[in-house]
Structure 1
Amino acid sequence: MNFKNLTNKTLITDNDLDWEALGLGVKRKIMAYDDSLMLVKVAFEKDAIGTIHNHPHLQMSYVAKGSFEVTMGNDKKVLNEGDVFFAPTMVFHGVVCLEAGLLVDIFNPHREDFLK
């Protein structure tokens, strides 16, 4: 996919974008971004894991579907559809999908590593 084409679009149709398989029951779709902001959909099969990690980006994630056990630093909580988590810069975080689900992630600035 040519991600450069996403930077100048202001009206995005979901069906025009492809999923990127990340393996082990996880796939993502980069919906839109510019230098300062990125929105990504991440779909999880039941029991799939978003491995504990950290990064210099601010991240907010909206649980659009399903149920996730979310680890944020030393805290752990089950979040369900409609809930949100916020990952501050460099805080370790990750998820375990308890029932098939979808997260909508917003990053500031955009994740350059996702575009490679």
Structure 2
Amino acid sequence: MNFKNLANKTLIADNDIDWADLGAGIKRKVMAYDNDLMLVKVAFEKDSIGTIHNHPHLQMSYVAKGSFEVSMGGDKKILNEGDVFFAPTMVFHGVVCLEAGLLIDVFNPHREDFVK
């Protein structure tokens, strides 16, 4: 998939974008972005793990489906459909999927590593 075609696109149909299989029960769809903002769908199978990591981007994640144990800095909390977590710049965070789920991630600025 050439994600560069999505840059600055304004009307996006979900069916026009393929999932990228990340392995270990996780797949990602970059839905839209420009230099300052990016929206990404991330689907998780039950028991899959979004490994603890950090990055210079601000991140907000909406739990669109399922249940996740979210680690943020030194804190952990179970979040369910409708809940949100915010990952400030360079704060270590990750998830364990407790029930098959979907996260909607928003990044500022966009994640260049997701579109290369």
Q: Normalized against structure 2, the TM-score is what?
A: 0.98
Identity of aligned residues (%): 85
CA distance in 2, matches of 1:79, 1:111: 24
CA distance in 2, matches of 1:89, 1:95: 17
**5+ residue gaps in structure 1?**
none
Q: Which amino acid aligns with 2:43?
A: A
Deviation at 1:30, TM superposition (A): 0.2
Tell me the equivalent position of 2:37.
37
Tell me the equivalent position of 1:100.
100
Deviation at 1:8, TM superposition (A): 3.1
Deviation at 1:35, TM superposition (A): 0.2
Structure 1 residue runs of 4 or more that deviate by more than 3 Å after TM superposition: none
Tell me the equivalent position of 1:87.
87
CA distance in 2, matches of 1:47, 1:4: 32
Q: Structure 2 matches for 1:1-116, cutoff 5 A?
A: 1-116=1-116
CA distance in 2, matches of 1:61, 1:83: 8
CA distance in 1, matches of 2:70, 2:8: 33
CA distance in 1, matches of 2:65, 2:105: 13
Q: Which amino acid aligns with 1:60?
A: M
Q: Normalized against structure 1, the TM-score is what?
A: 0.98
Deviation at 1:7, TM superposition (A): 1.3
CA distance in 1, matches of 2:82, 2:42: 15
Where 1:8 maps in the other structure, the secondary structure is coil
CA distance in 2, matches of 1:82, 1:38: 20
Deviation at 1:3, TM superposition (A): 1.4
**5+ residue gaps in structure 2?**
none
Deviation at 1:78, TM superposition (A): 0.1
Q: Deviations over 1:23-70 (max 9, x none)?
A: 000000000000000000000000000000000000000000000000
CA distance in 2, matches of 1:105, 1:9: 18
RMSD over aligned Cα atoms = 0.5
CA distance in 1, matches of 2:88, 2:8: 28
